[in-house]
Amino acid sequence: MSTYEVKSDVTGSVWKILTRIGQRIDAGEPLMIIESMKMEIPVVIEDAGTLVELRVAEGQSVSEGQIVALVDI
C-alpha cells in the first residue's frame, strides 16, 4: 500500500468536507468541495483508497497545489 497526496487544483476555501478519516473512497468520488470564484470545485482521487489524514478544515483557505489530504491506495 502506498500513500497518495491529494492536492487542490484551485485556490479558494474549503466549502464542505464529504469524507471522514478511515473511510474507503472510490476512484472519482469527491473528498471535499472547494469554493473558488463562486464556483464549487470537487476534489477527487484517481484511484480507490482509504482516507488517512485531512490537512484542512471547512472554511480554511487553500492554495493551488496545496496538499489537502492523504489517501492509502
pLDDT value, residue 73: 92
Tens of pLDDT along 38-63?
Answer: 999 999 998 999 999 999 999 999 99
Helix-, strand-, coil-residue percentages of the chain, each rounded to 5: 0, 55, 45
pLDDT tens-digit map of 4-22: 999 999 999 999 999 999 9
CATH of 3-72, one of 2.40.340.10, 2.40.50.100, 3.20.20.140, 1.10.10.10: 2.40.50.100
Name the residue among 64, 72, 71, 60 with its Cα closest to residue 16.
60
Give the contacts of 54 (CB within 8 A, at least 6 positions apart): 17, 21, 68, 69
Residue 13 is placed in which grid cell?
476555501
